Structures are given as structure tokens and as C-alpha cells.
């Protein structure tokens, strides 16, 4: 329940904090700055109206809707424990936030910066409506200002980026603590609550037992509380030591860190994950498993910095390349989404994705390669399907990986076509994965 300040206690410096993909209190630089600069602060989240992609399916599928609802419930509870609250609104930010700022007498809107075209358009639309918006970059592990090159000179190959970071001894900043004091809420006139989100009807929870990321279980549920417990549990079981040797498996809860849904929603920051990993190494020793987790988190950063360098060019049909726009076979694409292709491994992977919202990194690569190279479809349709289905959808990582598989990103070696027979023999030799998702 939102508890307004009593009349006559309106604050002098009022702000609205717009939570985006940073749904946490720990190590949230943008939120911490807004807290220390405001005498009253209204935290809000905007549910964008449900939309269809240009390919004709819903943009945010049931898995992420479910995970997001749990994430927001946890964020609200954590804010309330500290004397604040979360106002959930439904509507486009440029439509619902300006009247709210006016209604509560807020001078500024603060939020994290997201360097992807649609997310930037949302901020531009607010600015065009006369709203002062203060954005803060915070979703990467490394601070871009500490890199040995400006984002515009980011190496075009990940390995060159990683070596420059490692040779330069560049390390992430320490995570920030939760602000010691959260400002009170500004007085909320009834008009400010008109766009309040009605409770969302949620899809049924998945059959947890069959999922590699069983988000219906509280321990895998959305939100910062579950994220921090999961991180502690993962490291406590010393699974980081075996990460490199298990990370290419197709199914199970332990073969990889399973941090992605919390990282993508921002319930967990990459810096918090990294600091915990370093603590683990100090206590239990570093090995190739712990190194490889750093490597993957750096890979996540690389796609973020690629957006700082190339921006909307990454979203062109031809990506960064010069080749013609990709062809598309709408019928083959539909068969792929339904898991009804000629390839049993692909069918299993697509059914797992649709049923659970999660897919291993190995399967994602194989599924993407098959769509682009075997079915001759547009990689953007595949990226949109993953956006709809994945519980851990992340704009930078999804676009970056699809571009790289399709050979339309930065890698001068071109795309990555996976040999299905080889992949099947290597990763599902006994056919258990195919059998599990046969129907
Ligand atoms: C076509 C395709 C689309 C993808 N879309 C997404 C997406 O929308 N959201 C997403 O989080 N990941 C995406 N990935 C990357 C990767 O598959 C997932 O991050 C990983 O499978 C999540 O499981 P995990 O947390 O157990 O990963 P782990 O193997 O434990 O890795 C730890 C963390 O490192 C990062 N990471 C791992 N692999 C990659 C990678 N290939 N690229 C960038 N960062 C990586 C993730 O943040 C991950 O949580 C995609 C990969 C492909 C091939």
C-alpha cells in the first residue's frame, strides 16, 4: 500500500525514480543518487501496454510476465520495509509519467540509462514532453570510463576487448550498499493514481520439475531476495569450480550459474555477482571454472559496450554488415516456433523454450543457427521469438548473440553455423534431452 506523506509535509526536492531493468536496491547507482539528492522520492514502474511484435506474437510472453510480477512484488516489499513503496502504472512512460510528475510536484525524473533504440526513444519522448530526465549508466560490470579506450574505439572482436581489459588490470567497481535512508514519498493526490496498474492475470506456473530454471519455486522466483539467496547457494555449493566443464550441458539446474533472469531484470547487478565470486575465490581458490564465469560476465559487458559504439545500427536488417537484408520463410519460421521442424534436437529445444522460458546457451546457439542457416529465416524474427519466450530476455545480449550467429555483427570471421549432427552427437548422445521434449 502506498502511504503518502501527511498533508503539510510535502518535500522540497521531489523526484520520481523510474525503475526499468534495474529492479533492485543493492548496487543501484541511479537509485542511490536519486535517494541522496531528494527529500521526497516516488519509485515507479511502468507496465508498457501489451504489444505484438511485427512477426505477429506477443512481445512479452507468459514466462517473463510471471517472473516480472514476482520481481516487482519483491521490490515493493523491500521498499516498504524501508518506509517507501512502488507505484505500478500501466501505459507508455511518455503518457503516464509527465502528469504524475506534475501531480506530485516532482522536479526531475531519474532512471538508469539503457543504450538500446526503443529504450532511448522512451527517454527522448519524455524529454520532448518537457520532462527533465537524469539517466545513469549502470548495467555493466565494468565502468565504461575505466576502459583503455573510449566506447567509440571498442575493439570489433571480443577477444581483443577481453585481452585489453585483462592486460590493463581493469576491474569492476565495488557494489554500492543499499541507501541507508530512503526519502519519504511525496504527497500523492488521487489523480496521480489514475494510471495505477490493475492486478495482472498471470499464466499458470510451469511444471517446475522439468525446467532448468524452475521459476515457480520460491528459490528461483523473481526479485532481489531470491537472487541474493541463489548466488549464495550457488557459490556455497562450490558449483563455480565446475562451471567450465558443465556449462555446455543442455538440461538441469546446476550446470550453469542460472544468474541470467536476475541479471536481466536487474534484480542482481553483475558487480554484486562478481564481488561474490571474488569472495568465493579468496576462500576456496580460483580455477578455470571461476575464471570462465568472469569471462562470460565480460562477454555480457561486450554486448553492452557494442551498443554504446554502434547504437541503432545493430538493429538494421543487415546489422553491421553490408550483405543484403536476410530472406525470410514465414512458414518455416512458424514450424520452428512450434518445434515442428525436420530436426528432433531443434524440436526438443524449441518445446523446452516455450514450456519453460529457459534454454541452455548451447541450445540457444544451435536453435539460432538452424533458423538462420537451415531454414533460411530472418535472424530478427528469431531474436523477437526469444524476446517473447525467454525468462531472461536482455536486449543487449539477445541482439548481440543473434547478430553474431547470423554473421551480421562485428566478428570478421562471419557467422556461426553449427553442424546439427555433430551437436547432437556431442551434447545429446543418449537422446535423453530429445526424449524429454519429444511431445
Ligand atoms: C541466440 C542467443 C540469444 C541469447 N539471448 C539472451 C538473452 O536474451 N538474455 C541473456 O541473459 N542471455 C542470452 N543469451 C546468452 C546465454 O545463453 C545466457 O546468458 C545463458 O544461457 C544464461 O544462463 P546462465 O545464467 O546459467 O549462464 P552462465 O553460463 O552461468 O553465464 C553466467 C552469465 O554470463 C552471461 N553470459 C553467459 N553466456 C553469455 C553469452 N553468450 N552472451 C552474453 N552473456 C553471456 C549471462 O549474464 C549469464 O547469466 C543468448 C545466447 C544466444 C546464443
Whether ligand 1 lies within 6 angstroms of the CB of 65 is answered as: no
- CA dist 45 and 87 (Å) reads 6
Distance 152 CA to ligand 1 centre (A): 24
Q: Which ligand 1 atom minimizes the distance to the CA of 257?
A: 30
Q: Which one of 361, 382, 398, 399 would you pick to mutate in the ligand 1 pocket, going by the greatest count of ligand atoms within 8 A of its CB?
A: 361
- What would the pLDDT profile of 100-129 be if each residue is shown by its tens digit? 999 999 999 999 999 999 999 999 999 999
Nearest CA to ligand 1 atom 49: 260
List the one residue out of 346, 348, 350, 368 whose CA is nearest residue 433: 348
Distance 363 CA to ligand 1 centre (A): 11
Whether ligand 1 lies within 6 angstroms of the CB of 416 is answered as: no
- What would the pLDDT profile of 241-288 be if each residue is shown by its tens digit? 999 999 999 999 999 999 999 999 999 999 999 999 999 999 999 999
- What would the pLDDT profile of 402-417 be if each residue is shown by its tens digit? 999 999 988 767 788 9
Local confidence band at 322 (pLDDT 50, 70, 90 cut-offs): confident
- What would the pLDDT profile of 154-184 be if each residue is shown by its tens digit? 999 999 999 999 999 999 999 999 999 999 9
In order of 21, 59, 96, 366, 402, the CA distances from 381 in angstroms are 23, 12, 30, 16, 10
Q: Which ligand 1 atom minimizes the distance to the CA of 255?
A: 26
Measured between alpha carbons, how far apart are the two ends of the chain, in Å?
44
Nearest CA to ligand 1 atom 22: 260
Task: Give the per-residue pLDDT at 410.
Answer: 81
Nearest CA to ligand 1 atom 8: 393
CA 173 to chain centre: 20
Q: Which ligand 1 atom minimizes the distance to the CA of 296?
A: 34
Nearest CA to ligand 1 atom 53: 365
What whole-number percentage of the chain has pLDDT above 70? Answer: 94
All domains of the chain in start order, with CATH:
11-138 (3.40.50.620), 139-173+224-315 (1.25.40.80), 316-436 (1.10.579.10)
- Cβ atoms 31, 17 nearer than 8 A: yes
What whole-number percentage of the chain has pLDDT above 90? Answer: 86
- CA dist 268 and 393 (Å) reads 14
Whether ligand 1 lies within 6 angstroms of the CB of 368 is answered as: yes
Whether ligand 1 lies within 6 angstroms of the CB of 247 is answered as: yes
Which residues have CB under 8 Å from 389's CB, separation 6+?
61, 63, 353, 354, 357
If 0-12 CB within 10 Å is exposed, 13-18 middle and 19+ buried, where does residue 204 land? exposed
- What would the pLDDT profile of 70-83 be if each residue is shown by its tens digit? 999 999 999 999 99
Distance 263 CA to ligand 1 centre (A): 10
Nearest CA to ligand 1 atom 39: 296
CA 221 to chain centre: 15
Q: Is the dihedral of CA 329, 332, 336, 338 positive or negative?
A: positive
Local confidence band at 9 (pLDDT 50, 70, 90 cut-offs): very low
Nearest CA to ligand 1 atom 20: 361
- What would the pLDDT profile of 182-231 be if each residue is shown by its tens digit? 999 998 877 667 667 766 677 776 565 579 999 999 999 999 999 999 99
- CA dist 99 and 188 (Å) reads 12
**Which own/partner pairs from 145-153 qualify as long-range (CB within 8 Å, at least 24 positions apart)?**
146/170, 147/305, 151/305, 151/308, 151/309, 152/309
Q: Within 10 A of 101 (CB to CB), how many other CB atoms are there?
A: 23
Q: Which ligand 1 atom minimizes the distance to the CA of 259?
A: 25
Helix spans in 203-257 (H): 224-236, 243-246
212-247 as b/e, with b when 16 or more CB fall inside 10 Å? Answer: bbbbbeeebbbbbbbbbbbbeebbeeebbbebbeeb
Whether ligand 1 lies within 6 angstroms of the CB of 356 is answered as: no
Whether ligand 1 lies within 6 angstroms of the CB of 297 is answered as: yes
In order of 39, 187, 191, the CA distances from 12 in angstroms are 6, 11, 20
Task: Give the per-residue pLDDT at 371.
Answer: 98
Whether ligand 1 lies within 6 angstroms of the CB of 392 is answered as: yes
- CA dist 87 and 398 (Å) reads 29
Amino acid at each position: 500500500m502506498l502511504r503518502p506523506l501527511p498533508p503539510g509535509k510535502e518535500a522540497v526536492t521531489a523526484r520520481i525514480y523510474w525503475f526499468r531493468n534495474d529492479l533492485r536496491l543493492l548496487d543501484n547507482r541511479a537509485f542511490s543518487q536519486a535517494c541522496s539528492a531528494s527529500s521526497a522520492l516516488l519509485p515507479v514502474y511502468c507496465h508498457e501496454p501489451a504489444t505484438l511484435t511485427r512477426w505477429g506474437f506477443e512481445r512479452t510472453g507468459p514466462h517473463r510476465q510471471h517472473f516480472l510480477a514476482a520481481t516487482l512484488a519483491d521490490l515493493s516489499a523491500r521498499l516498504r520495509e524501508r518506509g517507501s513503496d512502488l507505484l505500478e502504472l500501466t501505459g507508455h512512460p511518455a503518457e503516464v509519467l509527465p502528469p504524475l510528475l506534475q501531480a506530485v510536484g516532482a522536479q526531475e525524473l531519474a532512471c538508469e540509462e539503457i543504450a538500446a533504440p526503443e529504450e532511448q526513444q522512451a527517454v527522448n519522448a519524455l524529454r520532448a514532453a518537457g520532462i527533465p530526465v537524469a539517466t545513469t549508466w549502470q548495467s555493466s560490470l565494468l565502468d565504461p570510463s575505466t576502459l583503455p579506450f573510449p566506447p567509440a574505439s571498442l575493439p570489433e572482436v571480443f577477444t581483443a576487448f577481453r585481452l585489453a581489459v585483462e592486460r590493463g588490470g581493469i576491474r569492476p567497481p565495488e557494489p554500492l550498499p543499499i541507501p541507508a535512508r530512503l526519502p519519504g514519498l511525496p504527497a500523492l493526490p488521487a489523480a496521480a493514481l489514475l494510471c495505477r496498474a490493475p492486478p495482472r492475470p498471470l499464466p499458470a506456473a510451469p511444471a517446475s520439475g522439468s525446467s532448468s530454471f524452475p521459476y515457480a519455486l520460491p528459490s528461483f522466483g523473481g526479485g532481489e531476495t531470491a537472487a541474493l539467496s541463489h548466488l549464495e547457494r550457488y557459490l556455497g555449493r562450490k558449483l563455480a569450480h565446475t562451471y567450465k566443464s558443465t556449462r555446455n550441458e543442455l538440461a538441469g539446474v546446476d550446470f550453469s550459474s542460472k544468474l541470467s533472469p536476475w541479471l536481466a531484470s536487474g534484480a542482481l547487478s553483475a558487480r554484486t555477482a562478481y564481488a561474490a565470486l571474488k569472495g568465493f575465490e579468496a576462500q576456496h581458490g580460483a580455477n578455470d571454472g571461476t575464471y570462465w564465469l568472469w569471462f562470460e560476465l565480460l562477454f555480457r559487458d561486450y554486448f553492452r559496450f557494442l551498443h554504446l559504439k554502434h547504437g541503432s545500427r545493430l538493429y538494421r536488417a543487415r546489422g553491421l554488415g553490408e550483405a543484403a537484408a536476410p530472406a525470410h520463410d514465414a512458414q518455416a519460421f512458424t514450424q520452428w516456433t512450434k518445434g515442428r521442424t525436420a530436426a528432433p534436437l531443434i524440436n526438443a529445444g524449441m518445446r523446452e523454450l516455450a514450456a519453460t522460458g529457459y534454454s541452455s546457451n548451447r541450445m540457444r546457439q544451435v536453435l539460432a543457427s538452424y533458423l538462420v542457416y537451415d531454414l533460411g529465416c530472418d535472424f530478427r524474427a528469431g531474436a523477437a521469438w526469444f524476446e517473447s519466450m525467454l525468462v531472461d530476455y536482455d536486449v543487449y545480449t539477445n541482439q548481440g548473440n543473434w547478430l553474431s550467429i547470423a554473421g551480421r555483427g562485428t566478428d570478421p570471421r562471419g557467422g556461426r553455423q553449427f553442424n546439427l549432427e555433430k551437436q547432437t552427437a556431442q551434447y545429446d548422445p543418449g537422446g535423453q534431452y530429445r526424449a524429454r521434449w519429444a511431445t
